[in-house]
Amino acid sequence: QQPVQSPQAVILREGEDAVINCSSSKALYSVHWYRQKHGEAPVFLMILLKGGEQKGHDKISASFNEKKQQSSLYLTASQLSYSGTYFCGTDGGSQGNLIFGKGTKLSVKP
């Protein structure tokens, strides 16, 4: 029941946009997004709750389509600081058990 992320990796130039997708084979009630920079801990970006709302965090936003059981993370006008591995996490159903996808490695070049 691990969510599936795509693409596995993406390379961007500064200022370019990217989309990272997260899909699940089971019904979703919420989707978390985290970013992990090399050698550091994952950092919480945002959570999307059932209802399809789109949320934003600086120039990073996300959407959630519970009917399609998927979420997308949008990175606009990427900056060097956006580099890292992005993980989506879905509710494992056991009192807050978060199941993470395998991650998408984002590299932003000057």
Q: Which residues bind another protein (CB under 8 A)?
A: 30, 32, 34, 36, 40-44, 46-47, 49, 85, 87, 91-92, 94-100, 102-103
Q: How far is the CB of 43 from another protein (least distance, A)?
A: 7
Distance CA 45, CA 26 (A): 23
Residue closer to another protein, measured from CB, 49 or 77: 49
Q: Longest C-alpha distance within the chain, in Å? A: 43
Residue closer to another protein, measured from CB, 73 or 103: 103
Q: How far is the CB of 15 from another protein (least distance, A)?
A: 27
